[in-house]
Amino acid sequence: MAIHEPGTSTDVADLLVKLRAFAQANGWTIHFAGARTSGAGQALQLSKAGFAGTFLTNPSAGSSGDPGPYIGTYAHDAYNAANGTENQAARSSTTWSNAMVGAFQAHYFITGSAGDPPYLYVVVETAPGVFKHFGLGGLVTAGVINTGAFCYALNWSYDPNDISNWNYGDHAVPFDGAESSSRNGPSTQVRADCDGIAPRWYDPYNTSGNALVGGFRRDDQWATVPANVRFATSGITKSSVRTHSLILGQRLNGVYSPLGYPPGIRFCRLDDVPPGHQTTVGGVIWKLFPLIRKNGSVGQPNSDAYGYAYRIN
């Protein structure tokens, strides 16, 4: 099951205030909400059912290729007030969504209810037809995984040479496995302690043996199951196929092991439906959004017809 709340917000600080209220009303313990202990911006630190995470804002203007303001997430061990907003124990890297300029057209908060691993997802329509995604939680694990915590954010390259190329590796796309070394920051962090390494955080781009492979490869390197086949709209029903993002982590000798998948979110295509479309299958309601902008024109963010489906009931 999932709980969904739409709303509006004026900027990243206002968004965080409203996210706090939503999280607290749905079983999350709020440990801290206020100014960051290092750097400008605000922080929201919370936990639920053994999972702990932090949301951060950064009002910086950034650069032309990586514009601000920003809102980010990181996952970590249990909250400790002595560690402030930046240095919680066993923390992941921070995943940042960029170009978060308010006032926003809309935001959507989504969290799991009883029976789900804890998760808290946010979709923000920053401008008409332009969407950003960020969140954190725990995987539906494949076997006994320690710990299965994850965080994610969409960080798009706004460089004029990149912005309209949905397949470009500098776009950090959540749960993807095709990020280049020149990205502005990771899209996804997944923890799975193993092989004597703790904490072990997996990353979509990593040269030190901790590579993460997502269930969605923009460059179709996973040639046996290319993305355009896995996520195409059904030619019979015209319904968008919603596919789990199976996360695999690199082990010894280049072997990859399945870690699990994030609950309540799937990859899909929006060929025949508009952004924000809702579809019901077997009593389950899914709300569909583009990765960033459906079929954006030259000079605009463009993610073709690829998107995410979020369970909202």
Predicted confidence at residue 207, as pLDDT, reads 65
List, for residues 57-91, the tens digit of each pLDDT value: 999 999 999 999 999 999 999 999 999 999 999 99
For residue 95, the model assigns a pLDDT of 97
DSSP letters, 222-265, are STTS-HHHHTPBPTTT-PBP-B---EEEE-GGG-EEEEEE-TTE
Q: Tell me the percentage of the chain whose pLDDT exceeds 70.
A: 90
pLDDT score at 244: 74
Average model confidence (pLDDT) across the chain = 89
Report pLDDT digits (tens) over 3-36. 999 999 999 999 999 999 999 999 999 999 999 9
Query: Which of 81-90, 196-205, 252-261, 287-296 is predicted least confidently?
Result: 252-261
Classify 175 as helix, strand or coil: coil
Q: Comparing C-alpha atoms, which of 268, 237, 239, 148 is closest to residue 201?
A: 148
